[in-house]
Chains A and B, each alone.
Chain A
Amino acid sequence: QQQVKQSPQSLIVQKGGISIINCAYENTAFDYFPWYQQFPGKGPALLIAIRPDVSEKKEGRFTISFNKSAKQFSLHIMDSQPGDSATYFCAARLYNFNKFYFGSGTKLNVKP
């Protein structure tokens, strides 16, 4: 049973467009929600993260939107660039056990 469900599995966006990746969870004990970016042949790298007391966090072209009541959060990439082409993972931390659970990943392809 996957603790964090991520969609879509793959995404194609034109350069300059908005990329949106969604994640959902059920366990209300999750208390921290990071996103990771992974390029081929590399390990995932922490991109941006949010705590549930905040509805939105923005860093440059990357924004996390968080809906606590719906138990959903999403990553928005504004003005998407070919260099953003990568696999993106959402994650959630189970506070009492200090473990992170990952979504299944979204492969983003930004067309020039």
Chain B
Amino acid sequence: NAGVTQTPKFQVLKTGQSMTLQCAQDMNHNSMYWYRQDPGMGLRLIYYSASEGTTDKGEVPNGYNVSRLNKREFSLRLESAAPSQTSVYFCASRGYKGSDYGYTFGSGTRLTVV
């Protein structure tokens, strides 16, 4: 029972390089999300996908693109990385956990842009 799996766990990029963060969930959830976490800022929504075939911008979408490849997979792409994108990135899917409803998060990708 893996839940939400993110790869890679760590990445260092040079300014201007591109990369794709991968996310997959095995809980048959419809909705998936990408958040970034910065000290003192909490979790900020980058993009989300309410269902397969749809994507929408969140609070901080600039500099990112996403692809909902199928129901299981939701990727985040940085086309031209900037130091301001140094952060911890979390993918999540939304559904029930026991009697409560909310997100199941992956373990995160720690990205450093130099």
Contact residues of A with B, CB < 8 Å?
Answer: 2, 6, 9, 32, 34, 36, 41-46, 48-49, 89, 91, 98-105
Contact = CB atoms under 8 A, between A and B. Distances in A.
Given A9-B40, A102-B43, A104-B41, A43 B102 contact: no
A52 to B, nearest CB: 14
Given A43-B107, A44-B105, A34 B43 contact: no
A104 B103 contact: no
A45 B102 CA distance: 9
Q: How large is the interface on B (under 10, 10 to 19, 20 to 34, 35 or more residues)?
A: 20 to 34
Contacts of A103: 42
Contacts, number: 58
A42 B107 contact: yes
Given A9-B40, A43-B105, A48-B100, 7 more contacts: A36-B105, A41-B107, A43-B4, A43-B106, A43-B107, A98-B31, A103-B42
Contacts of A100: 45, 102-103
Interface in B20-54: 31, 35, 40-45, 48, 50
A44 B40 contact: no
Interface string B96-109: 01001111111110
A41 B92 CA distance: 16
B102 A49 contact: yes
B58 A91 contact: no
